[in-house]
Structure 1
Amino acid sequence: MAINTVAHLNFQGQARAALEFYHSVFGGQLTVTTYGDFGMPAELPGATNVVFGQVVADNGFRIMAYDVPGPDAPVAQGTPTTHRENGVTITKEPFFLSVRGETVDEVGALWEGLAEDATVIEPYAPAQWAPAFGMLTDRFGITWILDVAAEYTPA
């Protein structure tokens, strides 16, 4: 049996924009289905919101997202809570998304895409544990860690 773990992001009316943005950064196939596509009358609020969306790329990247229905949906977005202090990462976020690649250039291109209108927590640069590492919170309030896999040498 094979399984996959895929991040599923919850938004309040921003799922389409977020998925389109991630598609522009990572490539692949974009799928967006709205509540209206599933039969919600077009005149109702939220009919154009995303009930199912995903980006699936050949390089292994995959993410899902939807718009939580209702105006009072408990989805925290906006001001990032993660920052660096005295050499450590301080956060109240329950998770980060991590993207790891094989080369500094390949991951650097993804960094440049995600960094557009983002809050940079730790600039993309060489780190003690990796050829390159960076952390940012994107324009949709999602915090990403990007790094380059270090070459493993057994002891």
Structure 2
Amino acid sequence: MTFTPYLYFDGQAEAALRYYAEVFGATDLTLMPYHEAPEPEGLPKSDHIMYGHIMLGDACLMASDVMPGTKAGPQQAVAINFPVETVEEGQHLFDRLCEGGAVTMPYGPVFYSKAFGMVKDRFGTHWMIGVPPEEPDA
């Protein structure tokens, strides 16, 4: 079992998921706009995303736009943690997520990791990128 993050956007889900797929190298991108829902569902005929996800191995990041006519609140009280194997890989991802975003904690060494940083990307998603702590020798 695992938890799967699900992000809500206000008309930016497609752009965000395409960007995340490119940044993280995801090979599976699914986008289903509201207008593709069956007629009997009574959903709006909109190009906004009703359901979307990217897959990175077994990991899934899901997202959609809120129902047309409603407003999405900002993503303020949650961050997506993405562990990386190397400092260099983390720096690359951190730098990409910073494009048009804002650093909330610079990427670099901290007492619990070789490198860790936090960023709010241009879509308002908060990310934590870091190298997991090393296991102590037994």
Q: TM range, normalised to the smaller chain?
A: 0.7 to 0.9
Q: TM-score, normalised by structure 1?
A: 0.78
Q: Which residue of 2 aligns with 1:53?
A: 52
Shift of 1:61: 4.1
Q: 5 Å matches for 1:138-149?
A: 138-149=121-132
Residue 54 of structure 1: CA displacement? 0.3
- Which position in structure 1 is the counterpart of 2:12? 14
| Pairs aligned (count) | 134
For 1:15 and 1:132, the matched residues in 2 are separated by 29
CA distance in 2 between partners of 1:151 and 1:46 (Å): 50
| Compared CA separation, residues 36 and 145, structure 1 to 2 (3 A) | same
**Residue pair 1:125, 1:133 contacting (<8 A) in 2 also:** yes
For 1:4-83, list aligned pairs within 5 A: 4-28=2-26, 29-39=28-38, 47-58=46-57, 60-73=58-71, 75-77=72-74
When residues 147 and 154 of structure 1 are mapped into structure 2, their CA distance, relative to the original with a 3 A threshold, is same
Unpaired runs of 5+ residues, structure 2, are: none
**Structure 1 pair 46–109 and aligned structure 2 pair: CA distance change class (3 A):** farther
Runs of 4+ in 1 over 2 A off after TM superposition: 70-73
Instruction: For residue 50 of structure 2, give the secondary structure of its aligned residue in structure 1.
Output: strand
User: What percent identity do the matched residue pairs reach?
Assistant: 34
TM superposition shift of 1:45: 6.2
Contact 2:34–2:44 (CA<8 Å) still a contact in 1? no
> CA offsets per residue over residues 114-137 of structure 1, 9 Å max, x none?
111110011111111100011110
Q: Which residue of 2 aligns with 1:101?
A: 84
- One-letter code aligned to 2:3: T
* C-alpha RMSD over aligned residues: 2.0
**Aligned residue runs from structure 1 range 107-146, under 5 A:** 107-146=90-129
Letter in 2 for 1:9: L
- Separation of aligned partners in 2, 1:61 and 1:115: 22
Q: Is the 8 A contact 1:26 1:61 kept in 2?
A: no
Specify every segment of 5 or more residues in structure 1 that has no aligned partner in the other structure, as ranges. Answer: 81-92
